[in-house]
A and B are shown apart, each in its own frame.
Chain A
Amino acid sequence: MNKQLFEKSNKVERYTLFIDFLAIAAYITLFLVLFKMLLLPDVIDGSMDLDNLQFMEPTYQFLGRTLYKEGINTIISLTIAFMLIGIPMFFINLKKVKNRTIYEVDSYVAGSKFFQGIINLLSFNPISCGLRIYNMFILVKFVKGYNAKEFFKSIWPAVKAYFKKLFTKKAKESTGGLDEYSVSIKKSIRRQSVTTVLRMLFTYIFLVFMAFIIIIPFYWMIITSLKDFSGATSATPEFFINISRMNWVNYKVVLTELNFGLYIRNTVIVALFSTAGTVLTTVLAAYAFARIEFRGRELLFSILIMTMMIPGELYIITNFITVSKNGFGWVGMPSGENNYFVAMIIPFVTSISYIFFLRQSFKQVPESLYKAARVDGCSDFKFLMRIMVPIASPTIFTITILNVFSSWNAYIWPRIITGVGGQEGQAYWLISNALRDTAFVLDNGRVMYNLQIAASTLVTVPLLIVFFMFRKYIMNGIGRSGTKG
């Protein structure tokens, strides 16, 4: 174990990550600049002339060159592809460089450095590529002790040896001239292995088929959102589109002209505040149910559990009366006096199912820890903040994410609340009701399917990004909450 080489490799890796970070920043700025440059159709009589969207032939001046529609679409597609590859790669490497120990390094790590370097080269980042390949040579020296020259020499014999091994193995199997009994055993083993292979094949075909059904709506959504109008409504839709014909302008139209920027902002506000409230109230309540002993605790808790059975529609009827004119007066008032955000947030700042879920994980903290803390003069609140919350932080994090998801997907309550306000309420739409209630129909009766699907993509993609970032927490949380039931 040559510690110096390992440290050198880590140092090079850190430099590479810095360069990667600069490259990602460059991609993002390039994307934003180009996206901002995209030209929209002219405004006629107060509304955008969306009919003209696909027939426009705009020209752009970028870095002293004239770009056409195809050129700018290609560049934007490429920057997005680079971001999609580069950002996850960056974070995975960052995690690895923090946690890697000297014992985990083997020749596979060196190989993966090489492939990552190739990917860097493909995404116009030659500096990272060079550093990664240099790092690969360091790692090769670290693992095998070869110089660069020795390494190149050693490749061909290794490949030859690999193929030789492959063929000799086959030859050995075919020559099995033993007595009858062992031949019959060999036959039955072969029969068994054939059935195993067949079963595995069928399992994989089944899984791939189902995965295909799951994935196709997402694929179709993304492809359609990038088509132009005639592509989205043609009788023979295309399955693949060329990157030069990806109409990124669709997203700009949806964000600006169709106001989805505003709706996304509304949804983020509602999601943030209701999630903050939910986490605060559920942590306190779950602590009370898990640790503090008081009379009627079990009774109160079982009452709460029982209300979980009651369908949400029953609440919505009365809550609508509660928040409107004859109750708190948050909605249904004359225009200008309404408080749509309050009406959308306050009813959802607590959740019985999360209290239940969090109580389970609070209960797993041993009672003796609490007793010891009390003996040392720790107050209840301090114990909750210093010990309970850190221990149960994965659960709290899961609750946070699930609550953000559910406010992102809320449909019926925001619809009822903003529906009362008419024109004024429309400025407070959340994305789900905006998606359903925005008319994607032009004056001449054409349905802008590509814009509608682009709006759907805008709503779906943030969820997917959050999911891929915190996959472990979300999937574990779902599995556990189901098991505890």
Chain B
Amino acid sequence: MANLQNKIKEFFGKILNVIKTFFWNVRRFFINIKKRIGDFLDKHNINFVSNFPNWAKALLYLSPALIVLAVFTFWPIINAFALVVYENYNMTTETVTGYTIFGNFITVLTDESFIVPASHTGSSAVINTLIIVFISVPISVLLALFISAALNSIKPLKSFFQTIYFLPYVTNTIAIGLVFAYMFRTDGGLVNQFLSLFGVNVDGLSWVESGAVYWRSMFVLIFYSIWSTLAFKIMVFLSSIQSIDKQYYQAAAIDATSRNRIFTKITIPLISPMIFYILVTSVIGAFKIYNSIVALFGVSGAPAGVDYNLQSIVMYIYQFIDGSNAGNLSVAAAGSLILFAIILVLTLVQMQVSKKRVHY
């Protein structure tokens, strides 16, 4: 019996061996052919595979990204300058009535909802955006600095708090914006409930609904933008505080330096490049605010039944793509070029300052 089993095993092993050798031979055959062709080409100096120039190789690797970038990134930049000189450009028929150099810029700059507010609106896109930038950015940067310093000084529960503070980064702006609008409701909103605990008369105190005063709805918007941008700043500050050399703190501890002094004389100066980086990026981000406004106030950019508007520069631009003034893309291009100019100036300032990298 055992003999038979062994024989069967041997038989199958032989068959397997034959198949294996066959495939190995086939493989060796092809490798041989490849090698011979390569040798032949090398001998006659026409082997373009081994002489493949680096630029061609690079082109091969870059082409998928570059084709997409060329169509959807470089072409729009060029085309924006073309669009700006058209007068009354019509998208569907691709016709223009004439050409102008500054006409579209003048249209944007003199628009009563862009810079200088009309008497009946009370606010304009640039004023709204500047208010958001100059209030939300300093507050959120300071708050993020304090929180990350506090996080760095504790040990238990540190990663727990870190996780919680990171949550707003991974949420959908529109979804949480709707929740904020719900929390700031007039009747039975969570915030009004909270205020009524302190004896505030919340009857008809509206934040985002009809009848809200400008500063109240602006407060909600700024609060939401701080809430949603805090996570990234805390993360960056915390990682840069943790990368500071511990020797500085040990030296300060030997000299019995007070906590405040350590914070202002060691921590802040050493992470100053990062603070500046965050400051500039968040100013740029605040200039581009759009989703939060849409989430809180809808596409119109204002609570129902009020005479002001909370639209930002980006919202002003988008209204020419889809909105009340849809179709006039030249004006939109002019507006976005103005926004680009603002961002360019801010970035150049950042580059100049970060080049020096003065710590002390």
Contacts and interface: CB of A to CB of B under 8 A. Distances in A.
Contacts of B235: 475, 478-479, 482
Contacts of B172: 408-409, 431-432, 435, 456, 459-460, 463
A288 B62 CA distance: 7
A250 B64 CA distance: 45
B295 A310 contact: no
B283 interface: no
B321 A416 contact: yes
A2 interface: no
B190 A237 contact: yes
Interface in B314-328: 314, 317-318, 321-322
B4 interface: no
Contact of B58 (A210, A297, A408): A297
A324 B165 contact: no
Interface string A409-420: 101100110010
Contacts of A400: none
A211 B164 contact: yes
A452 B178 contact: yes
Interface in A434-478: 435-436, 449, 452-453, 455-457, 459-460, 463-464, 466-467, 471, 474-475, 478
A260 B123 CA distance: 37
B175 A211 contact: no
A431 B71 CA distance: 27
Given A311-B340, A318-B80, A347-B68, A210 B165 contact: yes
Contacts of B94: 326
Q: From B167, B227, B339, name the one whose CB has the most chain A CB atoms within 10 angstroms.
A: B167
A162 B259 CA distance: 36
B111 interface: no
Interface in B146-180: 146-147, 150-151, 153-154, 157, 161-176, 178-180
A301 to B, nearest CB: 10
B170 A311 contact: no
A411 B174 contact: yes
Interface in B167-207: 167-176, 178-180, 182-183, 187-188, 190, 193
20 contacts: A199-B259, A207-B154, A214-B164, A217-B179, A235-B187, A237-B190, A281-B64, A285-B65, A294-B55, A313-B317, A313-B335, A314-B77, A317-B317, A325-B92, A332-B92, A380-B61, A456-B178, A467-B170, A475-B162, A480-B239
A328 to B, nearest CB: 9
Interface of B is mostly: helix
A204 B154 contact: yes
Query: Chain A interface residue count: which class?
Result: 35 or more
Given A310-B77, A464-B167, 13 more contacts: A217-B227, A293-B54, A311-B340, A317-B76, A318-B79, A321-B329, A411-B174, A435-B174, A459-B174, A467-B170, A474-B170, A478-B169, A482-B239
Contact of B147 (A200, A210, A282, A433): A210
B108 interface: no
B198 to A, nearest CB: 16
Contacts, number: 270
Contact of A315 (B62, B72, B295, B343): B72
A405 B190 CA distance: 29
Interface in A291-339: 292-295, 297, 304, 307, 309-322, 324-326, 332
Query: Chain B interface residue count: which class?
Result: 35 or more
A213 B220 CA distance: 14
A93 B158 CA distance: 23
A200 B156 CA distance: 11
* In the A-B complex, the 5 residue pairs with the closest CB atoms: A482-B236, A318-B76, A479-B239, A288-B61, A456-B175
Interface of A: 199-200, 203-204, 206-207, 210-211, 213-218, 220-221, 224, 233-237, 280-282, 284-285, 287-289, 292-295, 297, 304, 307, 309-322, 324-326, 332, 346-347, 349-350, 352, 355, 380, 405, 408-409, 411-412, 415-416, 419, 431-433, 435-436, 449, 452-453, 455-457, 459-460, 463-464, 466-467, 471, 474-475, 478-480, 482-483, 485
Contact of B322 (A318, A409, A415): A415
Q: From B73, B166, B347, name the one whose CB has the most chain A CB atoms within 10 angstroms.
A: B73
A294 B58 CA distance: 7
Contacts of A312: 288
Given A284-B64, A284-B65, A292 B170 contact: no
Interface string B297-337: 01100000000000000100110011000000100110111
Given A218-B167, A292-B57, A456-B179, A207 B150 contact: yes
